[in-house]
Structures are given as structure tokens and as C-alpha cells.
Amino acid sequence: MIWNHDVRTEPNDVHNLTPTRREFLFWLAALSSLPIRGMASAAATPPQRNLNVLYGKDTLGAGIRSRIIDNNNGVKMHVLESGFEEKRPCIVLLHGFPELAYSWRNQLLPLAAAGFHVIAPDLRGYGRSVSTAVTFDDDLPPYSALNSVSDILGLVRALGYEKVAAIVGHDWGGPTAQWCSLARPDVFHSVVSLSTPFFCSPTLLLSTTTRPVAAASVDIDKDLAALPRPRKHYSTYSATPDANENMWHAPQGIHDLLRALYYFKSADFKGNRPFPLKSWSAPELAKMPTYYIMDLGKGMAETVAAEMPSKAQIDACKWLTEDDLAVYATEYTKTGFQGGLNYYRVGADPSFSGHTINVPALYIGGDSEWAVYQSPGAFEAMQHGACTKLLGVHLVKDAGHSLAEEQPLEVNKLLLEFLHQAKIGAA
């Protein structure tokens, strides 16, 4: 990629490299010319085996490599990275549950082609960042919001960066990205949340020594269990000691569990027609699919087994091939799911009560995903106060929960447009 060589700047100065309109259009042209995994033509030559990665050797393209990095915070983190040939402004991509750094396979090379060093870690408790399987009895504080910030801060510093051009998070990676930008805006200069709306910081009550605290009016677990069709919230299930065993040793096996779960939450499942819910109440929440509001007597293995796609549907799925799914299934077979499930067991952190996110921000969701509306009012509130520099809110057409995998070209386009709009440049 050719840039204006008259520009002189330090590698960490992410704002002095703002591209011109001509350069930005060149970004997009480069992006559109790169093959997206699973979307290349049938006549395309299969990629050569990539021996520089720890997983995805037959699916991750040349220009992507693995490294194990001591993150200065107690974890040796596995990262996939691209654009590492020289010092560039960096972008950090944070996955959700049950995902891996591999979930960003379609973003790594296009963002590197736009001039960034792109870093996607397996987060604490996941994939190759796990040395021994996490158990339910392991300590929970390492999974707290602020320690998750320390994980990412320590990682980027270990890689030589004092500043990060953009931090992007999907699903559970979204809150971590948001906390990074909230706690250290001096380091994380912009933030993108996929699927999970930007949150308003938890409120700490005032004058509780002189005024009685009102009791919580809704016991949502009790109310869901009392419905004519008894239900439970998936986050409640995820925090139980039985969840990992139910998923790790699912009767159908991890491969079919993940195939059904990813399908069930995607735009391929035609029952996903989300809409705003009126309130945080059992009757309203019960309108969501059973991957969010589960039947009381079922685990996730039994819940998704009922929606296992047919062979024809699996063969038609180009965004998650059997080779792609094998990467996830192999890694979760080794580690189990407890590392990811532990994030559901840590309560909201009020450390930044009343603070807003004040760096440029972008939200991207899928028009067929319930994560947009699963917390009634959050999507609307996000647009009125959580972020002071919210530059865009997008619901990608024909995308469900795995939107960066389902519609990578559109997600990549939105990311690059945001970086241009936020004046986040690349070398």
C-alpha cells in the first residue's frame, strides 16, 4: 500500500496519520479485493497450509500468525495477528462466547491491508490462552471487568504499544472493549461494540445512610420459573456449576452443539425476527428464543439440539464451513467452556459510576439478532448518553449474532468507514 511519504510521525501517534479521501477509497478497494474465507469463488485455489498459526492451519491465510505473549497480568495469551511486518498503529479485536480469536479471521487481513497491526487474542479462559482447563472452583476476580482491562492493557504494552487506534469487541468482548475505553481513554483511542449495546455505567446510590434503599421489585428468575411454560434466563444457567458439564459433555458432542448454537443465533435461522421488548419482565423476556430464555428443565445442549440444522442447511452455510467449525470444536474439546462461563458469574462493576465513554464510538449489530434487544431499553439508552461521541449505529442486513462471520464484507466496510470518520489513521 502506498502512502504519502512526506508524513513524519511516531509509530504510536495514531491521530497524525489521518488518510485523505483518495487514500481512504484505496483502503476500500484493497479491502474488497481480498478474499474472504468461505466467500471466494469455487474456482479459487485453496490456500496453502499456514504453519505459522497454532490452529486454523488449513483455513487462515498467509500473513496471519500465532504468538504466545506474556500479558504482564498472569496469562500467557495466544494471539492471532496480521500487519506485523513493521510498527503500525494497532487495532485489537476481542471475541465473545463461545468464540476464539479465530472469530476475526475475516477481519485480520483486510484491516492489515488498510495499514494496521491487527491483534486478536484468545481471551483469559479461552483456547490457547488456557494451560489447564478452568474449573468452577477457580478464583473469579481475574474475570472481573477491571482485570479484563488489565489483561488487554498488559498485552498491548507487551507488544510495544502505549496507544491503541481502536479496540473492537463482539458479544462478551464488547463490554471489555467498552471498559477499556472508559477506564483508559488515553490508551484506547476509539471503540467499536458488535452485538452488545454500549452500557450505561452502574449507578452507586447516594445518601443511603439517611434514606432507606428500595427493595428490588423484580426477581426475574422467580418470575420466569412461574410462567405457564416455566423458563430461565440463559445468564442464570451460565453461572451454574452444571453449565460447563452440560456443554462440554453434550450428548450430541461439541461439534454438533456448536453447529446448532451458531445456526440457531444466526440469520440462517428464520425464526430470528427481533424487536424491542417493552420491559424487564418475565412475559416480555419470554418472547425471545430459547437460546436466551431457556426452558426451565433444559440445559444448553438440549436447547440447541432441537434446532440442529439439516445436512442441506449445513452444506449451504458458507460463513461457517465444516473446517471452520472444526477449529472451534477442537479447541473447546480441549478446554471445556468454564473459562467463558466465568464471565457470567462476575457482577457489574460500579467503579466508574456516572462516567460516559468519551472516545469516538461505533455500534454494529445484526438485523436478525436478539442481542440488540435482549436487555430492554439498552439499545435506545445507548444512543442517549452512554457515549458522547457515538458516530454510528448500524444493523447489518441478513446478519445474526455472528455478524463479523456472517457478513464480513459489510462489517469490514463499516469498520474502515468509522476509522476514517474518527480520523484514526494508518501507516
The predicted-structure confidence for 310-365, as pLDDT tens digits, reads as follows 999 999 999 999 999 999 999 999 999 999 999 999 977 777 777 899 999 999 99
Give residue 200's pLDDT: 74
pLDDT in tens, 158-178: 999 999 999 999 999 999 999
Residue 136's pLDDT band (boundaries 50, 70, 90)?
very high
The per-residue pLDDT of the chain, averaged, comes to 89
| 116, 426 Cβ separation under 8 angstroms | yes
Report the distance separating Cα 274 and Cα 369, nearest Å: 6
* % of residues, the chain, pLDDT over 90: 78
CA atoms within 13 A on the CB side of 53: 26
Where does CATH 3.40.50.1820 sit in the chain?
A: 21-202+352-421
Q: Phi-psi bin for 72: left (phi > 0), alpha (psi -120 to 50), beta?
A: left
> Above 80 in pLDDT, residue 40?
no
pLDDT at 228: 98
* pLDDT value, residue 385: 82
Q: Tell me the per-residue pLDDT of 264-323, one tens digit each, with 9 for 90 and over.
A: 999 999 999 999 999 999 999 999 999 999 999 999 999 999 999 999 999 999 999 999
Report residue 7's pLDDT band, with 50, 70 and 90 as the boundaries.
very low
Taking phi over 0 as left and psi of -120 to 50 as alpha, with beta for the rest, 276 belongs to beta
**Does the pTM exceed 0.75?**
yes
Three-state SS across the chain?
CCCCCCCCCCCCCCCCCCCCHHHHHHHHHHHHHCCCCCCCCCCCCCCCCCCCCCCCCCCCCCCEEEEEEECCCCCEEEEEEECCCCCCCEEEEECCCCCCHHHHHHHHHHHHHCCCEEEEECCCCCHHHCCCCCCCCCCCHHHCHHHHHHHHHHHHHHCCCCCECEEEEECCHHHHHHHHHHHCCCCECCEEEECCCCCCCCCCCCCCCCCCCCCCCCCHHHHHHCCCCCEEEHHHHHCCCHHHHHHHCCCCHHHHHHHHHHHHCCCCCCCCCCCCCCCCCHHHHCCCCCCCEEECCCCHHHHHHCCCCCHHHHHHCCCCCHHHHHHHHHHHHHHCCHHHHHHHHCCCCCCCCCCCECCCEEEEEECCCHHHCCCCCHHHHHHHHHECCEEEEEEECCCCCCHHHHCHHHHHHHHHHHHHHCCCCCC
44-48, 129-133, 144-148, 419-423: the lowest-pLDDT one: 44-48
* Residue 158 near residue 70, CB atoms below 8 Å: yes
Nearest to 114 by CA among 207, 220, 33, 7: 33
Signed CA dihedral, 171, 176, 180, 182: sign only: positive
| pLDDT band of 372, cuts 50, 70, 90 | very high
CA distance 294 to 64: 38
pLDDT band at residue 35 using 50, 70 and 90 as cut-offs: low
What pLDDT score does 423 carry?
85
396 beta partners: 366
Residue 59 predicted with pLDDT over 60: yes
Is the CB of residue 231 less than 8 Å from the CB of residue 294?
yes
Q: Which residue has the cell 428500595?
A: 214
Q: Which residue has the cell 496519520?
A: 17
Q: What is the pLDDT of residue 342?
A: 97
The pLDDT score that the predictor gives to residue 16 is: 43
Distance CA 283, CA 274 (A): 15
The pLDDT assigned to 2 comes to 26
Superfamily of the domain at 21-202+352-421: Alpha/Beta hydrolase fold, catalytic domain (3.40.50.1820)
Radius of gyration of the chain (CA): 21
**Averaging pLDDT over each range in 9-23, 36-50, 253-267, which range is the top one?**
253-267
Average pLDDT over residues 216-239: 94
pLDDT tens by residue, 389-407: 999 999 999 999 999 999 9
Torsion, Cα 7 10 14 16, to 10 degrees, reads -30
